[in-house]
Structure 1
Amino acid sequence: MDNLETSQGMTPAWLQIAGLGGWLLLCFAAAGVGSSVTLPQIATWYAELSKPSFNPPNWIFGPVWTALYLMMAISAWLVWIKSGWLDAPGALGVFCFQLLLNTAWSAIFFGLENPVAAAVEIVFLWLAIGATLLTFWRHSRLAAYLLTPYLAWVSFAAVLNFSIVALN
């Protein structure tokens, strides 16, 4: 695991724990907002859409996203604990931006019932995740590695989104 020393010295344990709690809260708040617009649409509007044969069953999305949000929070925490806001404002800012785009995708696709606009937005989300991964790499290799499943899942989600657009 990465060394938890910052450029200013060792971070106190209570601050490390509080920081992890903050990143978990931020990531799972984003998840909650996304879920609040997604879940009501699963059995209604989304059920009526034509989907490709490789569309996973609905039950898989919750556990996958839970694991991804947990890894995102830990990833951001690792960068924060190692470099702090002052040494990593760009990396953590890009992280927060991609988290906003992640939430926006759910609002566009499910809330607005607009797969076409969501397909455009997911390209920007994918680029923002890639930028986050690259900026995190400079601060913590482990933090960057923790984002790779997220990038892979959003790549799959993009293919799924574009397929739904083509089928509907």
Structure 2
Amino acid sequence: MQATQTDPARVPALRPLPRLLVAVLPVAATSFLGSMATRPEIPTWYASLNKPWFNPPDWVFPVAWTVLYAMIAVSLWRLLGARPATGSARRGWWLALAAFAAQLALNAAWTPVFFTAHAVGAALVVVAALLVMVLWTIRLAVPFDRPAAWLLAPYAAWVSFATLLNATILRLN
């Protein structure tokens, strides 16, 4: 049985409002950085690339990412609230948060590498590492908050698709 926040073995890391800010701010910053790196490149450099038949229309990306970023923030909010009080479980929780931070940093790194630097090959390395980290984050989050882990599943699916798309764009260009 999964422990809840009312379980004495769980100690909330932060009160709900500060926890919400800690969850939302890094995700919003990642989203903002991605948007700033992407927007000027869509009608110019990105439009000039050869893309595969399965490349979605440009409007799909901001819609998908808005939903995904909301789910990522809720996942982090839940994970932050699932802090174990002591012991090895506490170390596992910190490892899950470190993995979460690493995947968010890779997420923030991919967009400027791909769109600003036009380094499609390097971006493929970043997005593949991102996929590994998202999957690892899901695995590490499961013992602490299953819904937090499952909230990242659509993100993992989208990053899998992004990896395939990035690889195909590299091959075509």
Give your verdict on TM over 0.5.
Answer: yes
Matched residue type, 2:153:
T
Query: What does residue 94 of structure 2 align with?
Result: 89
| Distance 1:123-1:6 versus aligned 2 partners, 3 A rule | farther
In structure 1, which of residues 142, 145, 148 is the aligned counterpart of residue 147 of structure 2? 142
SS in 1 for 2:37: helix
- Structure 2 distance, partners of 1:4, 1:27, is 23
Query: What does residue 129 of structure 2 align with?
Result: 124
SS in 1 for 2:129: helix
| Distance 1:132-1:9 versus aligned 2 partners, 3 A rule | closer
What percentage of aligned pairs have identical amino acids? Answer: 38
Structural RMSD (CA) = 2.1
Where structure 2 has 5 or more consecutive residues not aligned to the other structure, the ranges are: none
State whether residues 7 and 82 of structure 1, in contact with CA within 8 Å, keep that contact through their aligned partners in structure 2. Answer: no
| Distance 1:71-1:164 versus aligned 2 partners, 3 A rule | same
Query: What does residue 42 of structure 2 align with?
Result: 42
Matched residue type, 1:75:
S
Query: What does residue 109 of structure 2 align with?
Result: 104
Matched residue type, 1:37:
A
- Structure 2 distance, partners of 1:20, 1:150, is 20
State whether residues 115 and 161 of structure 1, in contact with CA within 8 Å, keep that contact through their aligned partners in structure 2. Answer: yes
- Structure 2 distance, partners of 1:109, 1:163, is 13
Q: TM-score, normalised by structure 1?
A: 0.91
Query: What does residue 26 of structure 1 align with?
Result: 26
Question: What's the offset of the Cα at 1:120?
Answer: 1.4
SS in 1 for 2:151: helix
Structure 1 moving runs of 4+ over 2 Å: 2-12, 84-87
Query: What does residue 5 of structure 2 align with?
Result: 4
- Structure 2 distance, partners of 1:84, 1:31, is 29
Question: What's the offset of the Cα at 1:89?
Answer: 1.1
Q: Confirm whether residue 156 of structure 1 aligns to residue 161 of structure 2.
A: yes
- Structure 2 distance, partners of 1:72, 1:85, is 24
State whether residues 52 and 169 of structure 2, in contact with CA within 8 Å, keep that contact through their aligned partners in structure 1. Answer: yes
State whether residues 6 and 81 of structure 1, in contact with CA within 8 Å, keep that contact through their aligned partners in structure 2. Answer: no
Q: Deviations over 1:31-52 (max 9, x none)?
A: 1011111111001100000000
Question: What's the offset of the Cα at 1:84?
Answer: 6.2
- Structure 1 distance, partners of 2:52, 2:136, is 29
Query: What does residue 113 of structure 1 align with?
Result: 118
Q: TM-score, normalised by structure 2?
A: 0.89
Which one has the bigger helix percentage? 1
- Structure 2 distance, partners of 1:33, 1:6, is 38
SS in 2 for 1:58: coil
- Structure 2 distance, partners of 1:57, 1:127, is 26
Question: What's the offset of the Cα at 1:83?
Answer: 1.1
SS in 2 for 1:44: helix
State whether residues 11 and 83 of structure 2, in contact with CA within 8 Å, keep that contact through their aligned partners in structure 1. Answer: no
